[in-house]
Amino acid sequence: GVHPTIKGVVWEFLLGCYDPKSTFDERTQLRQNRRSEYERLKSQCKEMENTVGSGKMITTPVISEDGQPIENPSSNGANLGEVQLPDNKTDNVTQDKEVIQWKLTLHQIGLDVVRTDRALQYYETPENQARLWDILAVYSWIDKEIGYCQGMSDLCSPIIIVIENEADAFWCFEHLMRRVVCIFLIYLAIWEKGLDDGGTTSNLGLMMRVILEVDGILMSHIPYGWKGIANETLKRRREWEGGKKTKEALRREEGETEKEEEQGESKLKEEKYRHNREFRMS
């Protein structure tokens, strides 16, 4: 295994923060530049929401969808005032919308943070929870396309535990997100489609198919599994359509679902066999 004292450095290399061929001086300079950039971004966020960097975090909404501040929100001890926009951006309508959207996610980040790795002693300290919240809050500001999605806190948590410096941990997480951003884009696309047609759960089957095609080995590690998704999809589809289908149609639908399950399981077995064969040959 990797010695605990160098785990953080190893992860920085594994996630692509540094070129393996870079020199010590080059990495030192790059690290310093990144730390300065993170402080700049964090200060920018603090101008919009003074809880950032305070050692506290937000767990209830601080703003309404129309941009009106919500008075007296609970925020783990933070004393929140009125919602403020950066002084040099107040005339920019687009910027105002981005700030409002960002503020709408802050309490959701807080709710996810308090649920993240609760059994770990590391998170018994409120300051460490706030550290995770700060990183995710800053990231959700710079990522205009995705912002924050549920699950990001679980990805970021191991990083801040092994990397002591907050700025270094942030950039490590940012590089990790470059690798997995497609997963969150798929999730958002499926979620939005589900909201439009009333079949959010039905689209879980589509997501499983995507994962199966892209990475069959990953699919084998999903606890819910192909069969559970297919069965739940069928159940929710029936509920959504109000039980209007005839018994014959339902039997036909069940047969199609079973066929999909068999195809999925067969595909999974093929992927496992190919993976094991390549592993033995290597």
- 214-230: per-residue pLDDT in tens? 777 766 666 554 445 44
What is the token pair recorded at 171?
């950039």
Residue 121: which domain range? 4-179
Q: Residue 138 belongs to a domain with what CATH number?
A: 1.10.8.270
- 40-68: per-residue pLDDT in tens? 999 999 999 999 999 999 999 888 887 78
Q: How far apart are CA 51 and CA 60, in angstroms?
A: 12
Same domain assignment for residues 17 and 118: yes
Domain count, the chain: 2
Same domain assignment for residues 173 and 219: no
Last residue of a domain, one of 145, 179, 213: 179
CA angle in degrees (0–180, nearest 5) for 77-81-87: 130
Same domain assignment for residues 105 and 166: yes
With a CB cutoff of 8 Å and minimum separation 6, the contacts of 252 are: none
Share of the chain above pLDDT 90, in %: 41
Band the pLDDT of 179: cuts 50, 70, 90.
Answer: confident
Same domain assignment for residues 229 and 126: no
Indicate whether 186 belongs to any domain.
no
Same domain assignment for residues 156 and 264: no
Q: Phi and psi of 80, rounded to 5°?
A: -95, 135
Indicate whether 49 belongs to any domain.
yes
Give the per-residue pLDDT at 222: 62
Distance between the two ends of the chain, CA-based, in angstroms? 21
Same domain assignment for residues 171 and 264: no
Residue 274 CB coordination number (10 Å) = 12
Q: Which of 15-24, 26-35, 133-142, 145-154 has the lowest mean pLDDT?
A: 145-154
With a CB cutoff of 8 Å and minimum separation 6, the contacts of 164 are: 8
Indicate whether 97 belongs to any domain.
yes
Mean predicted lDDT score pLDDT of the chain: 76
Same domain assignment for residues 127 and 171: yes
